[in-house]
A and B are shown apart, each in its own frame.
Chain A
């Protein structure tokens, strides 16, 4: 039986019906991954041994009659999620051989749910980047076009789902790092509300923005994984005591706000066309009403994001000094060892952001940059709050472009910063955001539709994903030669 192209739900059913054994799943999926990942490089570390441990555990539980929620489903997790005893390197030289000392809360939940974790996925170093090219390991290729990037920073997690290597994966999203690669790879990617999923064990980039989320090829699978990883965790003081309830009135008219700012000059025409087609489909077929809205502070979002994210990153990454763990480059003395370890251990983009963040926090500049950014963050939040008095969700493109060519603009970091224009505000405000595929652009590259919901209203955006299912963009798998 060929399992590779099954949905997560189908795999689960077969496992629970004892039609296939967890070890068969490991065998088939790992063989496929080991072969095809040579082409796309979606994985940072393929862990057959770990997958077998998961499978053996599950086998015992199935024999006891247990029916865990993700039974036998192969899942890849981003390389910045801690796993006890296994490599968690954030695709950075500074953590090249670092093995997690404990399980992240999401890892414990996946294990409890009977998932089979097959390895970790490639990413921009410490989740900083939008193309996966900032990985210290290797670039990842977009399975739809090998000359193109899968996006980033969770590019590996998006690519392995798009290429059919696994049905589900986890990523993290600080400014669009789940939604943008989901869009570029033609899969669904959900960044939950801030506080919905425990960050315990997610290696911090920008603590007030980071959130773990899921990739899938259809909304049912996405719901399945989202339900497992969500929930309050006392180990994360910023997680929220609100239960995820995905039940939604199927007959309710959903009011969609269309922000004019999301359709301005920077948006590529092919993307605009597909997004408008999607909106057209929704209004005609999905009991959706659209209204124009405005988010006037959006023009400050990128600047605000890069001040706050880099400030927090400069602090969060201070610990990687080679002293207690990770890669050490010895210097003449203590300070020199710190400098050598950080200069050699971090890539250019990470160093750029640490410097930027240190600058905006330094005395004399703090008020002008950091404090001002916090104020603008509040203004942006107010804009969204106002908008949600008029509409249930906000829809626009996820990314202004359809394809991101590899090895382009490597010397122009600002051009990549600007690609985050539509995604960063959901992080600044803590809102849930989903990218769903809505077709292909001029050069046959996938395009994503972004649905931003009100705080903790994942149910509404996932309901829209359900109503959009028959538009025919789900379950697309890129053929990898």
Chain B
């Protein structure tokens, strides 16, 4: 019989608020240690928490995006933790009455089917500060800038069966949260942290002993760590051994997990209701208010792009990765008289290339939707060629000028003045009579020589289509 893997995830997401969960301190990242602190987040004697309503707004938004049941009545609890980076000696969190239950999201499977990953709950809690052990040799240092940062913890049901499913889910989850503005989900800044609970069992048997993996800082880490842990469980169990319930750390250098602490020796957190905060009441009015601010979710957008703009699935998938890029696409399409595929090609091709090269996002590139639309229209009405348009785009990025202005200033418009063309063409034919003879004797390809010459004479500005037309007309007159 084969092994079945059971995976549950716990994801801590930093809410994108300006200030902390229980005080007005800034959440700016990377400032001097302990510069964003006050009596409340320092846990000074006599200080009290005040709930940041903006954080609850974001939490509600997350719940709506994941189609959860938002609880009208929830409360905060204290979780006792003695650690220097936890200055109150407790973390304020939500234990038995979280603000949000159930919900989840659908993910595509590799076999083409899809699967609903169900959530158990989401709750609101505060983050701890940071202990820094490598700053001075004699001391450990504490930075409490992060203390009191608002988080939601998203807990899935143990319904994930492979590491790939886990990362697909996390990818989708992350995109939804970024889309909704719940969080910027920067993994490198610790704004999106995932722990995984892994166990294996034979089909039909009850759940095996699980281990919790921590310290996975990227999606590839998560996939590697889960796969490593599955293999380890199999190896132990197949040798007749027993999996100890414990927390394990992922060692990214050695590519293996190692035991951190046993679940047997688990701390007694002595939870009890936070007496300094009244219960959190989220009424329908509040939910409706947040709902009205909600943007379209990425996978609804993807479907719509395929249906509404007739885009290939692949294009839709690429465009929705970034909400701002998707909005940009739609703004461009609106200004180019249909032809969404043109817009998609430009954005997925040239625009994306520049974004990557300059490490910018679409808002800072300096080419707004109106300008790109103008450029695309200049190609569309044969004012410039595709090739020239790419150069114009580069100049637009460099100078911030509009496409039209650049084309005018540099005189890049294609030559379509036929009278001037006729005169150029006739001069060239007169100067080079040999191909004309060839042409007359039936070798139509001989005209190609004149096209080349005309283009050269116009320094590439002549419109090749018109050159062809006029040339044929003039040759036939001879």
Contact = CB atoms under 8 A, between A and B. Distances in A.
Interface stretch (B86-94, B107-115, B322-330, B434-442): B86-94
Contacts of B88: 318-319
A314 B84 CA distance: 17
Interface stretch (B273-281, B309-317, B398-406, B450-458): B273-281
A315 B48 contact: no
Interface residues of A, number: 44
Interface in B236-285: 268, 270-272, 275-278
A203 B46 contact: yes
Contacts of A80: 46
A301 B127 CA distance: 37
B204 interface: no
A315 B45 CA distance: 12
A82 B44 CA distance: 10
Contacts of B44: 82, 101-102, 325
A243 interface: no
B45 A95 contact: yes
Interface string A353-394: 000001001110010001000000000000000000000000
Interface in B26-53: 39, 42-51
Contact of B78 (A81, A315, A321): A315
A82 B82 contact: no
A237 B43 contact: no
Contacts of A101: 39, 42, 44
B90 A204 contact: no
Contact of A321 (B42, B46, B89, B142): B89
B221 interface: no
A234 B53 CA distance: 13
18 contacts: A81-B46, A101-B44, A199-B48, A203-B46, A235-B48, A237-B277, A238-B276, A315-B80, A315-B90, A315-B270, A318-B80, A319-B45, A323-B84, A323-B142, A324-B43, A324-B84, A358-B270, A363-B268
Contact of A200 (B46, B142, B272, B275): B46
Contacts of B45: 82, 88, 90, 95, 98, 100, 203-204, 319
B89 A315 contact: yes
Contact of B272 (A234, A311, A334, A335): A311
A315 B274 CA distance: 10
A338 B81 CA distance: 12
Interface string A332-350: 0011001000000000000
B176 to A, nearest CB: 31
A324 B44 CA distance: 9
B268 A102 contact: no
Contacts of A203: 45-46
The 9 closest A-B pairs by CB, nearest first: A318-B89, A207-B275, A208-B275, A361-B270, A203-B45, A201-B46, A82-B46, A203-B46, A319-B89
A1 B201 CA distance: 90
Say whether chain A's binding surface is mostly helix, strand, loop, or mixed: loop
Contacts of B42: 101, 324
A81 B47 CA distance: 11
A338 B70 CA distance: 40
B447 to A, nearest CB: 84
Contacts of A235: 48, 50
A90 B45 CA distance: 10
A236 interface: yes
Contacts of B39: 101-102
Contacts of B84: 321, 323-324, 334
Which of A318, A358, A363 counts the most chain B CB atoms within 10 A?
A318
B272 A204 contact: no
Contacts of B82: 318, 321, 335, 338
Nearest to B38: A102
A324 B88 CA distance: 10
Interface in B121-177: 142
B235 to A, nearest CB: 34
A90 B44 CA distance: 13
B270 A237 contact: no
B46 A204 contact: yes
Which of B47, B87, B278 counts the most chain A CB atoms within 10 A?
B47
A362 B267 CA distance: 10
A378 to B, nearest CB: 13
B275 A319 contact: no
A311 to B, nearest CB: 6
A127 interface: no
A104 B46 contact: yes
Interface string B48-60: 1111000000000
Contacts of A124: none
B272 A315 contact: yes
Interface in A227-285: 234-238
